[in-house]
Structure 1
Amino acid sequence: MSLLEIRNLSVRFGAADAVPVVDGLDLRLEAGEVLALVGESGSGKSMSMLALMGLVDAPGRVTADALRFADHDLLTLKGRARRRVIGKDIAMVFQDPLSALNPSYRVGFQIEEVLRQHLGLKGQAARRRAIELLERVEIPAAARRLDAYPHQLSGGMAQRVAIAMAIAGEPRLLIADEPTTALDVTIQAQILALLLDLQRERDMALLLISHDLAVVAETAHSVAVMYAGQVVEQGRLPALFDAPAHPYSEALLAAIPQPGQTRLHSLPGVVPGCFDRPAGCLLAPRCPYVQPHCQQRPALTASRLGAVRCFFPLHQEAR
């Protein structure tokens, strides 16, 4: 059994027939695997994981055929039983650490709260463990930092605190949502190296949400490419990046800056919104390979490297 199984996950806001923000997402993640979820901003990456965590509030509605973690059915898990899983076995590092941390409480209190809730540690035992966690995420003068407020930390330091909180409950699955977006390049590399060290050290599954394909190529074992709320391609790395089957994956890879390049490649047009969503393939209005058959909606089907949502996938001659 996979550690995480998501089948036909959809998220809608507003009326029952509203266009889904996440549209029929299928994902599987094994223990110890690093899976990257990539795509443009607004493609549904973060919303998918917020739905998994139970953080989509009304008027949002989450539906799925299956939402399973280990032996837990997250669709039926409620109350205290759910809190024993979410935040402990499944933890999330959010995109903006200064928004994720509570500005009214000291860093130490916030880490110790996780330790109290999920591990039952109190008093000096919780404080000692909080110091150990800050030292593990490479924060200098860790004991002194426990008494700091979030606004007194740099962006990189705040992200390390957020990671310390996420791993405090010793999770089996860590979700990292664009964990380096607001950081400078040198700090980005340090944070990514830290996440991968923690993943290997604890044999955690790591689900990395990113739009930086260069980062994904260096860190992930497999990738799921999202467009307009749908997964359009899934497969193992580096094979998928070497020969993408979906035109959108090809366009994302072509947009990566190359040495000596004077002009970046771009995909013309825009991602479809609520009121201009094509009846057929969602990429068809922007796709350079569009054909009349693309007026129908393709399903996600098996491909040479995994799965692809395209009637005319690329690079299939090597199958």
Structure 2
Amino acid sequence: MSLLDIQQLSVEFGAKGRGFRAVDSLDLQLNQGEVLGIVGESGSGKSVSMMAMMGLLAGQGRVNAQRLHFDGQDLLTISDRQRRKILGKDMAMIFQDPMTSLNPCFTVGYQLEEVLREHMGLRGAAARARALELLQMVEIPGAQSRLDSYPHQFSGGMAQRVMIAMAIACNPKLLIADEPTTALDVTIQAQIMELLVQLQQAHHMALILITHDLAVVAEVAQRVAVMYAGQVVEQGPVDRLFAAPSHPYTAALLQSVPEHSRGARRLHTLPGIVPGQHDRPAGCLLSPRCPKVQERCQIERPGLLAHEGTQVRCFFPLVAEEVA
């Protein structure tokens, strides 16, 4: 049984019947200890889908799903009290900007201990000792003295390490990292990713990595899901999908990597923009931008079907000769 099983997840914002569908019929499965990369342009629904799964969109959007199970529990029917027991303990998330995730009014030691009190029942010296252990685990120098520091006294990279420490405090079964290195410089990005991978392997956590960085996905993940305009357009094993993408959008993403344009005057780009609320095409959502578009694509919307080792949402998937 999968640790995480998502079937036909949809998220809508705005007035019912006239709203904007930010996530459309998302299917994802994840096993214990597996690393899944989710990639796509900004606005493709990567972060929203994970926040919806965790129940963090209450009162903001309408979430529907055919199945939404985590570790044998139905996330669609559990009570708010049961959900609070899961979030932060068995399922944790690292957000993009640590400075907006940490409370500026409390020391990092207090915030770490709060998690430990809530989910593990640790108090006093035991909570303090575990908080110190967590800061040491994420390699914060002078961890003992930094327990009494406030978030503004940390650099961006160190604050992100605090957020990672908070996320792994209760040894979660699933860790979701949402662009965890976006606000950091390049050298710190590499350190944070290395730390995440080490912790994931040491604790055998399942990891969902939401990122724009295809190189990181190729190095870290076993499987990858490519999202476009709220839909998964292709998913499968990293080596298979990167070597021979079946969807034109996946191929365009890979061609936009600078290494693929070495010697060219300009980087490869895909013309146009992701369709918004009022300009969604009737057929395939990529059809206005797709170089392989045909008449059927403009009038009919494709489903996600098996194709040569991956799942692809395309009537006319690419073959190896076209990719090359």
Using structure 2 for the length normalisation, give the TM-score.
0.96
Q: Identify the residue that residue 56 of structure 2 maps to in structure 1.
A: 55
Aligned equivalents of 1:61, 1:189: Cα separation in 2: 37
Q: Identify the residue that residue 25 of structure 2 maps to in structure 1.
A: 24
Q: Identify the residue that residue 248 of structure 1 maps to in structure 2.
A: 249
> How much has 1:181 moved relative to structure 2?
0.6
Aligned equivalents of 1:237, 1:220: Cα separation in 2: 7
Matches within 5 A, 1:59-98: 59-98=60-99
Q: Identify the residue that residue 236 of structure 2 maps to in structure 1.
A: 235
Q: Does 1:5 align with 2:5?
A: yes
User: Gaps spanning 5+ residues in structure 1: where?
Assistant: none
User: Which deviates the most, 185-194 or 74-83?
Assistant: 74-83
Aligned equivalents of 1:292, 1:71: Cα separation in 2: 43
Q: Does 1:307 align with 2:308?
A: no
Aligned equivalents of 1:154, 1:195: Cα separation in 2: 18
Give, as a single letter, the amino acid of the residue that structure 1 aligns with 2:166. M
Aligned equivalents of 1:59, 1:197: Cα separation in 2: 35
> How much has 1:212 moved relative to structure 2?
0.8
Please provide the CA RMSD for this pair: 1.2
Aligned equivalents of 1:283, 1:235: Cα separation in 2: 20
The count of aligned residue pairs is 318
Give, as a single letter, the amino acid of the residue that structure 2 aligns with 1:209. I
Between the two proteins, what is the percent identity of the paired residues? 65
Aligned equivalents of 1:278, 1:238: Cα separation in 2: 32
Matches within 5 A, 1:256-267: 256-258=257-259, 259-267=262-270
Q: Identify the residue that residue 225 of structure 2 maps to in structure 1.
A: 224
Q: Given that residues 304 and 316 in structure 1 are in contact (C-alpha distance below 8 angstroms), is that contact kept between their aligned partners in structure 2? A: no
Aligned equivalents of 2:80, 2:174: Cα separation in 1: 20
- CA deviation string 1:29-55 (max 9, x = no partner): 011100000000010000011111111
Q: Given that residues 95 and 178 in structure 1 are in contact (C-alpha distance below 8 angstroms), is that contact kept between their aligned partners in structure 2? A: yes
- CA deviation string 1:70-126 (max 9, x = no partner): 111111111222111111000000011111111111100000000001111000100
Q: Identify the residue that residue 281 of structure 1 maps to in structure 2.
A: 284
- CA deviation string 1:286-309 (max 9, x = no partner): 000000110210001111122000
Matches within 5 A, 1:97-112: 97-112=98-113
- CA deviation string 1:197-246 (max 9, x = no partner): 01110000000000111111111000000000000000101110110000
Aligned equivalents of 1:104, 1:78: Cα separation in 2: 30
Aligned equivalents of 2:71, 2:225: Cα separation in 1: 21
Using structure 1 for the length normalisation, give the TM-score.
0.98
Give, as a single letter, the amino acid of the residue that structure 1 aligns with 2:220. T
Q: Given that residues 88 and 118 in structure 1 are in contact (C-alpha distance below 8 angstroms), is that contact kept between their aligned partners in structure 2? A: yes
Give, as a single letter, the amino acid of the residue that structure 2 aligns with 1:126. A
> How much has 1:58 moved relative to structure 2?
1.9
Q: Identify the residue that residue 194 of structure 2 maps to in structure 1.
A: 193
Give, as a single letter, the amino acid of the residue that structure 1 aligns with 2:191. Q
Q: Given that residues 14 and 20 in structure 2 are in contact (C-alpha distance below 8 angstroms), is that contact kept between their aligned partners in structure 1? A: no
User: Gaps spanning 5+ residues in structure 2: where?
Assistant: none
Aligned equivalents of 2:168, 2:161: Cα separation in 1: 11
Q: Identify the residue that residue 301 of structure 2 maps to in structure 1.
A: 297
Aligned equivalents of 2:174, 2:238: Cα separation in 1: 20
Q: Given that residues 7 and 65 in structure 2 are in contact (C-alpha distance below 8 angstroms), is that contact kept between their aligned partners in structure 1? A: yes
Aligned equivalents of 1:115, 1:80: Cα separation in 2: 17
Q: Identify the residue that residue 157 of structure 1 maps to in structure 2.
A: 158
CA pair 200-59 structure 1, distance change in 2 beyond 3 A: closer
> How much has 1:261 moved relative to structure 2?
4.4
DSSP 3-state at the match of 1:24: strand
DSSP 3-state at the match of 2:201: helix
Q: Given that residues 155 and 183 in structure 1 are in contact (C-alpha distance below 8 angstroms), is that contact kept between their aligned partners in structure 2? A: yes
DSSP 3-state at the match of 2:258: coil
